[in-house]
Structure 1
Amino acid sequence: MDVIATKNKKALDRNPQEPTTMFKMYKRRRVQRQCHPSASLPDELVYEILLRLPVKTLSRSKSVCRAWRATISSPSFIRAYLKQQQSAISRHEQKPSFLIAPHTLDSVIHDEPWPSTFSNTITFYRWQEGRDDAHLVRATDLHGEFGSVYGMSHCDGLVMFPTDTRLYVFNPATGKGDVLKLPDGQKSRFQTAGLGLDLGTNTYKVVRSFNRSIDFNQQAHDAAGMEVFTISSRDSCWRTVAEDPPYPVTAHPMYFKGSLYWHICKELLQEGSPPPQGFLRFNLEDETFRLVLYDVVSPSDETRLDLVELGGELCLA
């Protein structure tokens, strides 16, 4: 830097009429050095190194320069990174782990149908196979923004956290305190939401079902609806799906290979209508519904059937 400054001074002595031009040249050289920290490495090698970095390190690497930020944020890199992590797990380079989000109550109100005093401190712990304890990966205090918590959904490390006031999306792997707070959607007395990946556009979507009105005693409800929020879209807002679901749904859905699977709410079906023996599938790409039937011999009323992913396959449990 001293050598460059000396050369610039000599040039200014020869041509005192162009101090602004010489300053711009010096500044441009500094920027070029700062924005190309890997100039001596081939781009292909830098890409392969970035693919193998831990998530926290990768997140910090976005601040190195614009080129790295653009690469790390690109959908193609994100897909390649997830595939790389999955391959490492399948080769047993990384042991499987569980993400644990304990829910605690600040106080207990007796005779509540569902607790309304959940703690607003959201914590995520990671427990890896073979370890004796779990370690804290992040903690966020939402300072009294909600009272109740419902079933969470997850996809590729993102966690959707539904409450009685709004929906939140976390990325526990980054360890940061930031959280995506989704805007309010359609008003509803009963809602359920899920998170998944649109395989067509490679964007993550939160899908929320809602009932415009509901009466469990009369087994009646107005037409149910669905609305979608696309994460990372510039004009992110809720938009109603063109096709209403053919059946009322309940419980949080399960994500599997580009689709969300909902339980059908049998309590809200019209009296006399036989309940369909299956799940309601919502395709995140074309945003259409399809009934997925299953064949179970004489299940009892007490039997609850769920869809689970096992070894990359969708199974009924």
Structure 2
Amino acid sequence: MDSPHGAAVKAEGFGLKGPRGWAFRGLGIDAAPGSLIAVEGPSGSGRTCLLLALTGRMKPTEGHAEIGRHRLPKKMAAVRRIAALGPVPGVNDLDQSLTVAEQLREGALLQRHYDAPIRSLLRPRAERRAAASTRIEAALDAAGLDLATLPKGERTTVRDLERLEAVRLSVAIALLGSPRLLALDDLDMKLSDTERTEVWAMLRSIAARGTTVLAVCSEAPADAVVLRTAPREDGGAGTDRRAEPTAQAEPAAEQDSGARQGSAADAGSGTDKADKVEKADKVEKSETAAHDNDDTKGTDDALAEAGRA
């Protein structure tokens, strides 16, 4: 039997400290591939830092984690290759000036450029376009975004999308590379109760297909593995006492409630999120430059195809 596509998420004594204090500390989790994991807590309680650390975008201060057998913090680059970010405000915002079709084509282009084998860039242009179209259609289907329902179809500009439509578009772009872990931040921001229900249904569907999902929210659904980042009244780390296993969790994970106790300390104002993301961006840019040196010819052809040469 083939192994699940999704990445198992494990951590022990996991913590991240910034200049203003601990964003989170002493976190433990053991979630099986294909789990639906919810990071629950109020804004400013270290939720985003935890998400970025578990996806290899921030370097933890203590403890360790394993994402699909890639150990953090040593294998941060490897984790980034298998973990895709859905909507994370301030980190990977959609380009408001592009149309939906342009945003999708750009996402497919970047995925092929940085994640696909170099030899794929040398295939005939028509073959590359057909492959990109197939990936886009599959990603849109998984994200539940029907372009025909948009005001101007695929020519609708991103700025004209409703919040729920923008979330679905971000998720579709993240799924273009068939990630093993999909991460989303501020999931319920500016969404009605009905829209939140729709989003969680979408994420359950994605998890059911085998992709592990990690979502930051203010209130988690009952069927998710829950990690709570709310601080205690005395300013210490909060403890989640109601973590529950997902339907996809392995029997062993079910027996210990799907997750160990998680804790997080409020580092204030997102614990210098912007500073840490900037450091992560520098790492990404360094890796990108190295990749570019390896496949310059294929890159030029791909960029020319997208009209961005």
| Pairwise TM-score range, normalised by the shorter structure | under 0.3
Structure 2 length normalisation: TM-score? Answer: 0.25
Higher relative contact order (CA 8 A, sep 6+): 2
